[in-house]
């Protein structure tokens, strides 16, 4: 029995939801096939806390979730992007259940039925408020909004819940569960936040470090001054560095793949056949005489399935047909012609002359659901009948009553006088008139067409998504020719013969180059464009050059280093790949990071050489200027540097150097300091101490305030890391 049912029996104070779009934890789904790539010994989609998550369990959860998703979004199926999202959401929910819930249970954190009712009805939780808010307008759904404040009304919620359907109650129970989880997480995080503390000693130390300023002189010998080629690290050097810096080489599981693509593009034969087929369409297009026939023909024959009802001015059509179409007569056809890999044919349907600009006024007769006003209750049929009747009167009176009818009948809110206008002053919308308008004016097209296409004195009706507009043309200027053009488009696609030819080429390459060495040699010999996709994670949604990389990722994690793939179909291309590196979770091997280790060892050896040069030059208590002269380096100055200074002027960030400088007293010189860009020697010329403080309470509070927001994401990440989570979701697709 849900909390809702228990509360109904006790108090009758219930909460409902209409059209509820549930949050990520409760609305998740995907499609999958029981006959997936899993073999009999590979039935896990991942591990959480050492516990394997079986395919069958995961599959059951997501199949149920997809049905909820379809039901609540009124969709018959999900897009690939939606599927990717919900797979991850289901996985996150399982992590929440397996990792976080155990923490909450150990601490005894719960949400009672009474508390849940309070945050669902009496003092609605932000989650509930978001669900009952229109995402387009940002306002609470009117049915649940307080008429005065516009906020979510507990009274309206209670009243409405008495009429909930079974489906609505089921949705509400799901939302209850989600809000309960959110509230538990909030309590857990708040406990940690309240436990954070910064001691007075720490606050004082940080304050002094950040507010003690120093004026310094320094010299630096940049690593670039010595060529890398002059340093020859030994295997022992590399092994020593690698062994002593294991933490630097922690890694997640990843793969490196190199591949070549065989693009599937139409052949000349495909273009010739497509042109021939389009010529047949052109002949049939010429035979049709009515626009109504043309519209059906265009929709049935075009790849775009679109019939353009609009009229075009000179210069607004494709450059290939713009001049031609304006010289043709209605009914004439041009084509076929090729544009961006698509054959097209165009027919001039109609020609009209419109004003360059015009001035008109209108009366809007709206109907329920037309978008003009939520208070209008008349039906569309009633609105049309009313508009027809008013036009009869207006034409009989030659528009004499138009202004009166605007005030009496028009549903256009623009007719109302703005608060900053006085009686008698003009404003946009006064009397139903918006001044001089043209084709580029920001109004709906039927409204503009009616005003620009008719003559001065004409009174006509135009329908738009706002309702029926009764329009009287008051004046017009200039004229221009406009044409209506219908277009049939057929993209040239590769034939089955062409696709088979490309597949054969890719298969021949894969078969002849079934090792990494052969693969790399053929790429060079055949001058192929090789792509490299490095650091591929099992959960990646994109790979360089591939929009939907699931097939490649799954292959990369199912094969051994050096394996060359069979041709893989990626829609517009076949690819042949070789798996060039396999990195497992943990510490990278020396071979995998040898380049990085070599670079670091070279830098370290340069630093040792430079430090010796500095020490030799400093012998006998030489000043920084004397050291600079001996080493032929420039002395730089930097005023007011402190512990917060990220970079020494002229260098990148040098935290270790600046940390050492912050400990030096005035009139003292540092030892040689190894930095990121080079080795530094610093002389502290003067020090300005931090101002005296009575206490450090403000600094303590500020430090705690800065730390607290990190709890909301760092705690979850820490628990996930401790749980040793392994994800194989790519195997589920």
Per-residue pLDDT for 36 more than 50?
A: no
The helix/strand/coil state of 647 is: strand
Which token pair is 62? 């997501």
pLDDT at 650: 66
The mean pLDDT of 433-441, rounded to a whole number, is 90
pLDDT at 632: 95
> Residue 412 CB: number of other CB atoms within 10 A?
20
pLDDT at 416: 86
CATH number at 253-265+494-584? 3.10.50.40
Using pLDDT thresholds of 50, 70 and 90, give the confidence band for residue 630.
very high
Burial 89-110 (b: 16+ CB within 10 A, else e): bbbebbbbebbbeeebeeeebe
CB 461, CB 469: distance < 8 Å: yes
Which range has the worst mean pLDDT, 405-414, 430-439, 536-545? 536-545
Using pLDDT thresholds of 50, 70 and 90, give the confidence band for residue 241.
very high
Per residue in 103-144, pLDDT tens? 899 999 999 999 998 998 889 999 889 888 887 788 888 888
Per-residue pLDDT for 24 more than 60?
A: no
Which range has the worst mean pLDDT, 100-109, 456-465, 645-654? 645-654
Beta bridge partners of 569: 574
pLDDT at 41: 37
Using pLDDT thresholds of 50, 70 and 90, give the confidence band for residue 722.
confident
> CA-CA distance, 636 to 624, in Å (whole number)?
10
Per residue in 506-517, pLDDT tens? 999 999 999 999
Q: Please indicate whether the domains covering 253-265+494-584 and 357-477 agree at the CATH topology level.
A: yes
Per-residue pLDDT for 7 more than 80?
A: no
pTM score, whole prediction: 0.62
Per-residue pLDDT for 196 more than 60?
A: yes
Per-residue pLDDT for 499 more than 90?
A: yes
Please give the C-alpha separations between residue 406 and each of 117, 429, 649, in angstroms, as whole numbers.
51, 10, 71
Per residue in 87-96, pLDDT tens? 888 888 888 8
> CA-CA distance, 64 to 14, in Å (whole number)?
27
Per-residue pLDDT for 529 more than 90?
A: yes
For residues 551 and 63, which has the higher predicted lDDT (pLDDT)?
Answer: 551
Residue 27: asked if its preceding bond is cis (omega within 30°), the reply is no
For residues 81 and 511, which has the higher predicted lDDT (pLDDT)?
Answer: 511
The mean pLDDT of 314-318, rounded to a whole number, is 91
Delimit the domains of the chain by residue range.
3-194, 213-250+593-688, 253-265+494-584, 268-354+487-491, 357-477
Per-residue pLDDT for 684 more than 70?
A: yes
CB 262, CB 575: distance < 8 Å: yes
Using pLDDT thresholds of 50, 70 and 90, give the confidence band for residue 303.
very high
Which range has the worst mean pLDDT, 24-38, 297-311, 518-532, 581-595? 24-38
Using pLDDT thresholds of 50, 70 and 90, give the confidence band for residue 733.
low
Place of tokens 């035979």: 287
| Pick from 724, 729, 259: nearest CA to 541 | 729
The mean pLDDT of 383-389, rounded to a whole number, is 94
CATH number at 357-477? 3.10.50.40
Per-residue pLDDT for 77 more than 60?
A: yes
Mean residue pLDDT across the chain? 87
The helix/strand/coil state of 352 is: strand
User: At residue 336, what are phi and psi to the nearest 5 degrees?
Assistant: -75, 150
Per-residue pLDDT for 311 more than 60?
A: yes
CB 37, CB 554: distance < 8 Å: yes
CB 364, CB 469: distance < 8 Å: yes
pLDDT at 348: 94
Q: Torsion-angle region of residue 406: left (phi > 0), alpha (psi -120 to 50) or beta?
A: alpha
Using pLDDT thresholds of 50, 70 and 90, give the confidence band for residue 302.
very high
């Amino acid at each position: 029995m849900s909390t809702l049912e228990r509360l109904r029996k006790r108090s009758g104070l219930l909460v409902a939801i209409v059209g509820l779009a549930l949050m990520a934890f409760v609305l998740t789904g995907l499609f999958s096939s029981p006959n997936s790539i899993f073999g009999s010994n590979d039935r896990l989609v991942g591990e959480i806390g050492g516990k394997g998550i079986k395919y069958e369990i995961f599959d059951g959860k997501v199949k149920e979730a997809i049905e909820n998703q379809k039901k609540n979004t009124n969709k018959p199926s999900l897009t690939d992007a939606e599927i990717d999202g919900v797979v991850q959401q289901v996985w996150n929910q399982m992590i929440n259940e397996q990792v976080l819930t155990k923490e909450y249970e150990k601490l005894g954190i719960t949400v009672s039925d009474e508390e849940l009712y309070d945050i669902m009805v009496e003092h609605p939780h932000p989650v509930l408020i978001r669900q009952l808010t229109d995402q387009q307008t940002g306002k609470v759904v009117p049915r649940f909004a307080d008429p005065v404040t516009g906020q979510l009304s507990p009274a309206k919620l209670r009243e409405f819940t008495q009429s909930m359907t079974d489906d609505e109650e089921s949705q509400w129970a799901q939302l209850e569960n989600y809000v309960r989880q959110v509230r538990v997480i909030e309590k857990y995080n708040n406990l940690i936040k309240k436990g954070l503390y910064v001691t007075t000693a720490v606050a004082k130390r940080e304050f002094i470090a950040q507010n003690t300023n120093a004026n310094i002189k320094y010299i630096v010998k940049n690593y670039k001054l010595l060529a890398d080629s002059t340093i020859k690290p030994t295997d022992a050097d590399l092994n020593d560095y690698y062994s002593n810096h294991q933490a630097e080489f922690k890694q997640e599981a990843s793969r490196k793949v190199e591949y070549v693509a065989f693009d599937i593009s139409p052949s000349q034969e495909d273009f010739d056949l497509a042109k021939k087929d389009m010529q047949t369409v052109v002949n049939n297009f010429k035979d049709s005489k009515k626009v109504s026939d043309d519209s059906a023909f265009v929709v049935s024959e075009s790849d775009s399935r679109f019939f353009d009802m609009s009229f075009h001015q000179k210069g607004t059509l494709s450059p290939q047909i713009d001049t031609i179409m304006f010289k043709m007569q209605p009914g004439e056809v041009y084509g076929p012609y090729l544009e961006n890999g698509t054959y097209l044919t165009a027919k001039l349907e109609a020609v009209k002359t419109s004003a360059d600009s015009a001035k008109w006024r209108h009366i809007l007769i709206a109907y329920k659901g037309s978008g003009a006003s939520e208070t209008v209750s008349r039906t569309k049929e009633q609105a049309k009948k009313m508009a027809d009747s008013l036009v009869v009167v207006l034409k009989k009176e030659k528009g004499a009553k138009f202004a009166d009818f605007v005030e009496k009948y028009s549903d256009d809110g623009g007719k109302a006088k703005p608060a900053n206008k006085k009686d008698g002053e003009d404003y946009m919308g006064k009397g139903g008139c918006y001044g001089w308008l043209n084709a580029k004016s920001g109004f709906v097209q039927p409204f503009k067409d009616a005003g620009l296409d008719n003559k001065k004195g004409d009174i006509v009706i135009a329908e738009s998504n706002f309702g029926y507009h009764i329009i009287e043309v008051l004046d017009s200027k200039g004229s221009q020719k406009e044409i209506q053009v219908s277009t049939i488009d057929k993209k040239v696609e590769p034939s089955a013969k062409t696709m088979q030819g490309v597949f054969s080429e890719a298969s021949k390459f894969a078969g002849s180059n079934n090792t990494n060495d052969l693969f790399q040699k053929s790429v060079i010999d055949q001058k192929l464009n090789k792509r490299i996709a490095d650091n591929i994670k099992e959960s990646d949604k994109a790979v360089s050059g591939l929009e939907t990389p699931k097939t490649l990722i799954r292959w990369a994690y199912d094969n051994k280093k050096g394996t060359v793939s069979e041709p893989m179909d990626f829609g517009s291309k076949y690819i042949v790949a070789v798996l060039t590196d396999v990195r497992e979770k943990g510490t990278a091997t020396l071979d995998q990071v040898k380049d990085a280790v070599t670079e670091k060892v070279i830098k370290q050896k340069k630093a040792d050489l430079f430090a010796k040069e500095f020490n030799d030059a400093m012998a006998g208590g030489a000043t920084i200027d004397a050291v600079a002269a001996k080493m032929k380096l420039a002395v730089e100055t930097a005023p007011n540097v402190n512990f917060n200074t990220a970079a020494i002027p002229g260098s990148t960030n040098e935290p270790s150097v600046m940390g050492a400088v912050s400990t030096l007293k005035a009139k003292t010189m540092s030892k040689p300091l190894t930095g990121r860009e080079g080795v530094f020697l610093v002389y502290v010329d003067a020090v300005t101490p931090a101002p005296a403080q009575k206490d450090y309470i403000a600094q303590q509070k500020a430090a705690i305030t800065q730390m607290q927001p990190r709890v909301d994401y760092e705690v979850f990440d820490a628990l996930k890391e401790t749980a040793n989570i392994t994800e194989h979701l790519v195997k589920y697709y």
